[in-house]
Amino acid sequence: MTFDKEKSRRLIGLFLFVLVLYNYPILSLFNISKRISGIPVLYLYLFFVWILSIVLVVIINRYPRKNELPGIRD
């Protein structure tokens, strides 16, 4: 499997994972009236998932596999 195919599969998997995290059953767990430092828990959860997804996309796109040599393709 080439690196591009593996990267595409990882990005699709990340998309599906984030889609599950933004879906109703998970969101309803954080839809409570409590606040942390004056910010509703739901807003903190949404911001955390958003930042996590950005960081994971950067990691997937920036770092190649350990066993892949530059310039050599399958």
Inside any domain, residue 23? yes
Give yes or no for a contact between 6 and 65, defined as CB atoms under 8 angstroms apart: yes
Domain that holds residue 52: 3-62
Average of per-residue pLDDT across 51-64: 92
Inside any domain, residue 36? yes
Average of per-residue pLDDT across 4-18: 94
Longest dimension (CA), the chain: 54
Pick 73 or 39 by higher pLDDT. 39
Number of domains in the chain: 1
Per the confidence metrics, is the pTM higher than 0.85?
no
